[in-house]
Amino acid sequence: MNNEYIRINHISKKFGSEIVLKDLEAVLQKGEILGFLGPSGAGKTTTIKILTGQLKPTSGDAYILGIHVKNIDETIYEQIGIVTDQSGIYERLSVYDNLKYFAKILKVDQARIDELLQRVGLFDYKKKPAGKLSKGQTQRLILARAILHKPRVLFLDEPTSGLDPSTAVSIHRLLMELKNEGMAIFLTTHNMEEATKLCDHVALLNDGQIMEYGTPKELCLRYNKEKKYKVLLENGQEYVLDQSPENTQQIADWINENQVASIHSCEPTLERVFLTVTGRQLQ
């Protein structure tokens, strides 16, 4: 059984003369989260639209569940789920009826609706009109609808953008559970903490081009040129020290004298890596 759920081979996309994606390459395996990290306008949403058959690439090939994106039809949506900032809800319907509608379309047993509502924390609001939900609750409803039919691949476009931290954490927890159940997740975000926490692989996207690709740890270590350590002593003094024989001896002395309160390596964060690679901020 092929566990490669998405393969992107040299995909490019032009709108008129404007190039929005340049020669993208990436792979998403079963049970993995692949993050496309970049600022607004970097081409993240366009990539999702190409992979879900809503846009055709100008050149290159991409495969989703073994099917070329140029050949996919609506049946692919029985195996994938999509959450974007353009995902709407039927505001007149209750939370439960919103899911019931899609359960009918996707031939899902209605017993799953309650199970799913429990899982996303909306069970107590099942009779509430969807138009009266808070932003966080709406996003959880949209997510519940996207995973209603247990898709093999889930596309998430900025799923926690504008949400409060506790809702974001609950969504992160759910995504990790889904990943552990074998779902492949394609995530776009400009939140580097989210990407570091969730993603198995990340692609740093800038102006439609992948600038770096790898695991978050690999990328951070790759740009850890000046190896430094941050030492906090018991007396409150803080030192940032380069890696050198003298400094190593100094740190050893402090440890022997029981003066060290904390010691950290100073490898860059993904945001720092992004800034180094592109010269621009993510937010």
Partner 1 sequence: MKIIHMNKLGAVMEMKFRALFSKNFISMPIFALGFALVMKWVYGSIMSKEGISDELRVFVMSYSAIMNVTMSGIYSVSALMAEEKEKHTLRVLMTSSVNGLEFCLGSMIPVILVMISVNIMLVPLVGVSMSAAGWGAYIGVTVLSCVTSAMIGMIFGIFAKNQMSAGTITMPALLILMMIPMFSAFNQTLEKVSEVLFTGVLMQTISNVAGGTGQLVSIKSILVMIVEIVLAVGCFLMFYRKNGYDHD
In the complex with partner 1, the residue whose CB is nearer, 73 or 246, is 73
In the complex with partner 1, the residue whose CB is nearer, 106 or 260, is 106
Measured distance CA(262)–CA(268) in Å, rounded = 18
Quote the least distance from Cβ 206 to partner 1, whole Å: 22
In the complex with partner 1, the residue whose CB is nearer, 77 or 213, is 77
Quote the least distance from Cβ 16 to partner 1, whole Å: 13
Picking from 87, 184, 102, 182, the residue whose alpha carbon sits closest to that of residue 148 is 102
| Residues of the shown chain interacting with partner 1 in the complex, contacts defined by CB under 8 A | 49, 52, 54-55, 73-78, 82, 86-93, 101-102, 104-107, 145
Tracing tokens 């609750």 back to the chain, one arrives at 137
Measured distance CA(14)–CA(1) in Å, rounded = 35
In the complex with partner 1, the residue whose CB is nearer, 101 or 257, is 101
Which of the 8 DSSP states describes residue 129?
A: B
Cβ density class 174-184: b for 16+ within 10 Å, e for less: bbeebbeeebb
Tracing tokens 């990436």 back to the chain, one arrives at 26
Quote the least distance from Cβ 92 to partner 1, whole Å: 6
Tracing tokens 């390459």 back to the chain, one arrives at 25
Quote the least distance from Cβ 49 to partner 1, whole Å: 7
In the complex with partner 1, the residue whose CB is nearer, 91 or 181, is 91
Quote the least distance from Cβ 75 to partner 1, whole Å: 6
One-letter amino acid for residue 267 of the chain:
E
